[in-house]
Amino acid sequence: MELPVLYAMRSSLYSAKARSYLIKQRIDYVERPPGDPRFPADVVPQIGRWIIPVLQTADGELIQDTCDIIDYFDAEMPPERSAKPPAGVQNIVARVLEMFGSEGLMRPALHYRWNFDGLNMPFVGEDFGRGLMLQDGSSTFAFGPEIDGSKGAAARAEVSTFAADRMRALTLDFGVNPETIPEVERSYLEFLALLSAHLETTPYLLGGRPTLGDFGFIAPLYAHLSRDPEPSLIMKRDAWPVWRWVERMNSPIIDTGEYGDVPSELFANDSIPPTLVTLLEYIGREFAAEVEAHVGFIDNWLAENDEVTEGDVVGGRPYRRSLGLVTWNWHGYEISTNAIPYRLLHLQRIQEAFEAADASAQATARELLGGAGLGGLLELKARRRVVRSDNRELWGAQQQPVVVS
């Protein structure tokens, strides 16, 4: 039987989420970088865009998107190993944490990668070059300029510069600019302090084993914030428990020794401890306004583009992931950031978990998230759902919008 193959890069944010799931669940797999000639030949044409990670299952099926990759394997997991807590408060919170980890830490991730060239670039440049070009010279990079891998280090440098320039340009569209940088840094240090305080009490976000929340958090906290040289120093200096959690999330054993004999179970009685409530309050301050602005912008866009019908590709092309720039107020700064309909999928996941909970868990979750300023996550909706089909995001059925006016 063939092993599953993960097309991924060490320096890629979302690759870490899928990789960590495979490692923690002890799923044997092969990892190939996108510089492998099979990626442009077999994967990109079927997926319809250059994007990582992509999982090729043992049966040869291709799955793009970290949520779908996790769902695919998790469907076969026994409840005591599943990344999804049973229906209830923890299941809702796990998805809130997954959304925030996957989408809400882009400002520090991009800032600490792209604004510290002296320390970062020698390392990040090698990472990009070696992920996008194989060392045996067999790669051709045709996403943008055609670059022939047989030129070795020169080809790697060329491909790395091309990819780095594209990514660096994104920092502005995620709200990192000279005016906001001090606040990006302050807010990230606050986040590290709160996450450290929580991890002082528990090896994983919801207890003795990882859940969707941990896999969401590892996305920005692996490649960008723990592995790139500059932020790596910050994390090691200021947030040892977070650094250790990153190691743990990449270890195939439960790796909780320093906590004593911790059972690999979630917190008892579907509870959420005070240190996690404090972290949720931070997420409310950091992310709630961004989600409100997103849903409002996307709903407005749908109202203005009423020729859109169910089944249309979001953005018109699979690789156009933003509908434009939405302006909103982040900690007192007016910033304009990419409006990404993909994020509605995360909201839908949270809302589905809420609907699956019983009335008492719903009441507890409403109080908990409402108190953290995150009540909107349970309700906000644009006038169409987003669905995924054939590894692309499509507009789904119409629904009654719920937006903040």
Ligand X SMILES: N[C@@H](CCC(=O)N[C@@H](CS)C(=O)NCC(=O)O)C(=O)O
> Please, which residue, 320 or 331, has the CB nearer to ligand X?
320
- Cβ nearer to ligand X, comparing 139 with 202: 139
- Least distance in angstroms from the C-beta of 130 to ligand X: 16
Q: Which is nearer to ligand X, 319 or 333 (CB)?
A: 319
Q: In the complex, what is the shortest distance from the CB of residue 20 to ligand X, in angstroms, rounded to a whole number?
A: 13
Question: Rounded to the nearest whole angstrom, what is the least distance from the CB of residue 88 to ligand X in the complex?
Answer: 25
Least distance to ligand X, CB of residue 243, Å: 21
Least gap, CB of 50 to ligand X (angstroms): 6
- Calculate ∠ Cα 201-370-342, nearest 5°: 90
Of the two residues 72 and 342, which places its CB atom closer to ligand X in the complex? 342
By beta-carbon proximity to ligand X, the closer residue of 89 and 159 is: 159
The residue ranges that bind ligand X (CB under 6 A) are: 12-14, 50-53, 65-66, 342
Amino acid at 78: P
CB of residue 360 to ligand X, shortest distance in Å: 33
Dig out the tokens for 133 from the structure: 């070009």
Work out how close the CB of 143 gets to ligand X at its nearest, in angstroms, rounded to a whole number: 8
Helices (H) and strands (E) in the chain, counts: 15, 10
Instruction: Of 277, 246, 269, 259, give the one whose Cα is nearest residue 208.
Output: 259
- The alpha carbon of residue 134 and the mean position of all alpha carbons in its chain are separated, in whole angstroms, by 26
Phi and psi, residue 368, nearest 5°? -65, -50
Taking every pair of Cα atoms in the chain, the longest distance, rounded to a whole number of angstroms, is: 64
Which residue lies nearer to ligand X by CB, 83 or 194? 83
- State the helix-helix crossing angle for 66-74 and 342-356, rounded to 10 degrees: 30
By CB neighbour count within 10 A (0-12 exposed, 13-18 middle, 19+ buried), where does 122 fall? exposed
Shortest Cβ 195–ligand X spacing (Å): 21
Closer to ligand X by Cβ: residue 194 or 386: 386
- Closest C-alpha to 21, from 68, 61, 62, 88: 68
Shortest distance (Å) from residue 308 CB to ligand X: 21
* C-beta closer to ligand X: residue 163 or 194: 163
Enclosing H/E stretch for 118: helix 117-132
Tokens found for residue 87:
């229906």
70 vs 276 by CB, closer to ligand X: 70
What is the rounded (10 degree) CA torsion for 262, 268, 272, 275? -30
φ and ψ of 267, to 5 deg: -50, 140
Spatial contact of 131 and 35, defined as CB atoms under 8 Å apart: yes
Contact status, residue 323 vs residue 339, Cβ threshold 8 Å? yes
What are the helix (H) ranges across 208-357?
A: 212-222, 229-238, 240-248, 274-304, 342-356
